[in-house]
A and B are shown apart, each in its own frame.
Chain A
């Protein structure tokens, strides 16, 4: 593998990994505040991409307002999911809540398929299609947008959780919902905010990635699985681990496909995330077992 190819595959992996990271962040936020794994998380990515195409291309809106509005709509759908699906069922068991998010996920997918058809679409790129030469590799400017946006979001999230009242309240309810309630934090409001924030991250992932990879009504499921694996690396607790994990999965996929070794041709690249997940689960369950023995 030449140096140029190496950089090329690295950048491809990094770009895909950033999207997994954003989806993974959404999982960790919802899990932290509510204890629920939100199976509809991948659908928000699809919504962001599809809506930005509908607004920017079909409705002829200028690009930036269209992008902004798409993210807001995705966030609103996240809020709706909480208000209509999760909150009325708060006495239900965890498995019931998870089934509700599964229902929401296929509901969103079905409605998107009916509204916007089943063909993949591609909204316009943010700053042209002319590939840039970076370290000998040809990189689409949209890829730079994706990587840049992910890092900016990381920093904003860090500031949000560490320095703002709202962020601290969210963090408090993720440590202990009961304790947070006792000091006067409205934990239901926090759960709503968590769903909203996670959907917004998904929407952002959708609008920035669709111009590069195209988007279609059914893309959410696989993205959901990969974001989940990213979040599982940190046990749904660490946001940093979710981001590093997501990027790692993207890069591993890219290089495994590049190596074209044995069964791992591009048809099966999606299997890698599952293998990573099983390895994580084995490692984590082994560690828990040994901790139990020690105590």
Chain B
């Protein structure tokens, strides 16, 4: 349809996407998937941070579930045990996570080589042990319940219907913020680093500073998602924050695509739907499936599945146009 410009098409797609998002939780539409959609929103916040991290720093984190968990437990403990306002607890959790990420990222990003994945894997293993063993604060392996919901004024987010909108407002805010960062001066610096570190450094970009910032940002996203997660579940236990959870987040990011923001939603949704609706029936084979997905996607589309498919489509379209012209 040539009468519509490319820009108009973008707005149309955006409008339809938003309409879909708004309508999902209604019972006559896709209401039975509201809880699934809540989880997709929560995990997409973590995944987008991981996509930025892997795409722009060239390093992977195997500890995102740890940050997710630190956010979750900090929110849970502050708001339940110490009666802190949940919003304040959420903020405190994000700040604490950011500080931990800085402590780990500061030495790592000044070094060459891939230390981040292993350091964050180590962190993930330890944090999981802490959640399990610090019985008097965390409730140990059985977890703790009775966590208050988030609320604004008189509006309490205590049903999936309401939580859905809260989560997706957060998720979209995170996505638009990331989009702006990528398009801003910081984003240009990051892309320059991605192209050539030496060239970026020679024009005065402090590479390690930028990389640390991306890492902290990804940790804070994970922490916010963790806070939303516990105020939605109203219960917290160590199992969603183990190392396998971190690996699953990497699977989501890899399916979505490195350095890709909107791909993160696609990757998260694809993996969550695959795991909740399909792999659940195959018992422990899910781990094997994730391993295979990671290997196969990275071997055939090293930039991630979503980005790889997009590139393939654009190549196909270009060749199609060329054939048409000839």
Interface residues of A (CB under 8 A from B): 37, 39, 84-85, 88-89, 91-100, 102-111, 113-114, 221-222, 224-225, 228-229, 232, 235-236, 267-268, 270-271, 273-274, 277-278, 281-282, 284-285, 288-289
Quick check: is B165 within 8 A (CB to CB) of the other chain?
no
Return the contact of B295 from the options A104, A111, A113, A222 (Cβ within 8 A): A104
Q: How far is the CA of A50 from the CA of B98 in the complex (A)?
A: 40
Contact yes or no, A103 B288, CB < 8 A: no
Quick check: is B62 within 8 A (CB to CB) of the other chain?
yes
Chain B interface: which size bin?
35 or more
Q: How far is the CB of B33 from chain A (nearest CB, A)?
A: 28
Give residues 225-265 of B contacting A (CB, 8 Å): 243-244, 247, 250, 254, 258
Contact yes or no, B114 A114, CB < 8 A: no
Q: How far is the CA of A235 from the CA of B111 in the complex (A)?
A: 10
Contact yes or no, A281 B119, CB < 8 A: yes
Q: How far is the CA of A224 from the CA of B243 in the complex (A)?
A: 13
Residues of A contacting B121 with CB < 8 Å?
A: 39, 221, 224-225
Contact yes or no, A102 B117, CB < 8 A: yes
18 A-B pairs whose Cβ atoms sit less than 8 Å apart in the complex: A39-B117, A92-B302, A96-B298, A98-B114, A99-B254, A100-B299, A102-B62, A105-B291, A106-B288, A109-B291, A114-B285, A232-B115, A268-B126, A268-B130, A271-B129, A274-B123, A274-B125, A285-B110
Which chain A residue shows the least CB distance to B208? A285
Return the contact of B284 from the options A88, A110, A221 (Cβ within 8 A): A110
Q: How far is the CA of A224 from the CA of B108 in the complex (A)?
A: 18
Residues of A contacting B73 with CB < 8 Å?
A: none
Contact yes or no, B250 A271, CB < 8 A: no
Q: How far is the CA of A105 from the CA of B250 in the complex (A)?
A: 13
**Chain B 291-307 interface 0/1 with A at a Cβ cutoff of 8 Å (1 = within):** 11111001100100000
Return the contact of B292 from the options A98, A103, A285 (Cβ within 8 A): A103
Q: How far is the CB of A87 from chain B (nearest CB, A)?
A: 9
Contact of A106 with B247 at beta-carbon distance under 8 Å, contacts A274-B126, A285-B111 already known: yes
Q: How far is the CA of A107 from the CA of B111 in the complex (A)?
A: 30
Return the contact of A99 from the options B107, B130, B292, B298 (Cβ within 8 A): B298
Contact yes or no, A102 B247, CB < 8 A: yes
Which chain B residue shows the least CB distance to A265? B133
- Most chain B CB inside 10 Å of its own CB: which residue of A88, A105, A108, A277: A277
Which chain A residue shows the least CB distance to B286? A110
Q: How far is the CA of A31 from the CA of B153 in the complex (A)?
A: 57
Return the contact of B111 from the options A91, A224, A284 (Cβ within 8 A): A284
Contact yes or no, B298 A236, CB < 8 A: no
Contact yes or no, B298 A228, CB < 8 A: no
Q: How far is the CA of A267 from the CA of B133 in the complex (A)?
A: 8
Which chain B residue shows the least CB distance to A280? B107
Which chain A residue shows the least CB distance to B295? A103
Q: How far is the CB of B249 from chain A (nearest CB, A)?
A: 12
Quick check: is B181 within 8 A (CB to CB) of the other chain?
no
Give residues 83-139 of B contacting A (CB, 8 Å): 103-104, 106-108, 110-111, 113-115, 117-119, 121-123, 125-126, 129-130, 133
Return the contact of B125 from the options A84, A93, A96, A222 (Cβ within 8 A): A222
Quick check: is B287 within 8 A (CB to CB) of the other chain?
yes
Contact of A103 with B291 at beta-carbon distance under 8 Å, contacts A89-B298, A95-B114 already known: yes
Q: How far is the CA of A254 from the CA of B243 in the complex (A)?
A: 25
Q: How far is the CA of A38 from the CA of B115 in the complex (A)?
A: 12
Q: A93-B302, A103-B294, A285-B108 are in contact. List 19 more A-B contacts (CB 8 A).
A: A89-B298, A98-B60, A99-B250, A99-B254, A100-B294, A103-B292, A104-B295, A105-B291, A106-B294, A110-B290, A224-B118, A224-B121, A225-B118, A274-B119, A277-B119, A278-B107, A285-B111, A288-B110, A289-B110
Quick check: is B59 within 8 A (CB to CB) of the other chain?
yes
Which chain B residue shows the least CB distance to A106? B291
Q: How far is the CA of A109 from the CA of B258 in the complex (A)?
A: 25
Q: How far is the CB of B109 from chain A (nearest CB, A)?
A: 8
Return the contact of A107 from the options B125, B130, B288 (Cβ within 8 A): B288
Contact yes or no, A99 B288, CB < 8 A: no
Residues of A contacting B117 with CB < 8 Å?
A: 37, 39, 98, 102
Residues of B contacting A113 with CB < 8 Å?
A: 284, 287
Residues of B contacting A100 with CB < 8 Å?
A: 294-295, 298-299
- Most chain B CB inside 10 Å of its own CB: which residue of A39, A96, A97, A104: A96
Contact yes or no, A114 B115, CB < 8 A: no
Q: How far is the CB of B324 from chain A (nearest CB, A)?
A: 31
Which chain B residue shows the least CB distance to A221? B243
Residues of B contacting A99 with CB < 8 Å?
A: 54, 60, 250, 254, 294, 298
Contact yes or no, B104 A278, CB < 8 A: yes
Which chain B residue shows the least CB distance to A99? B298
Residues of A contacting B291 with CB < 8 Å?
A: 103-110
Quick check: is B58 within 8 A (CB to CB) of the other chain?
yes
Residues of A contacting B254 with CB < 8 Å?
A: 99
Residues of B contacting A281 with CB < 8 Å?
A: 107-108, 111, 115, 119
Contact yes or no, A110 B287, CB < 8 A: yes
Which chain B residue shows the least CB distance to A267? B133
Q: How far is the CA of A93 from the CA of B193 in the complex (A)?
A: 14
Residues of A contacting B115 with CB < 8 Å?
A: 232, 281
Return the contact of A282 from the options B107, B113, B292, B294 (Cβ within 8 A): B107
Q: How far is the CA of A93 from the CA of B107 in the complex (A)?
A: 22
The 4 closest A-B pairs by CB, nearest first: A103-B294, A107-B291, A110-B287, A92-B302
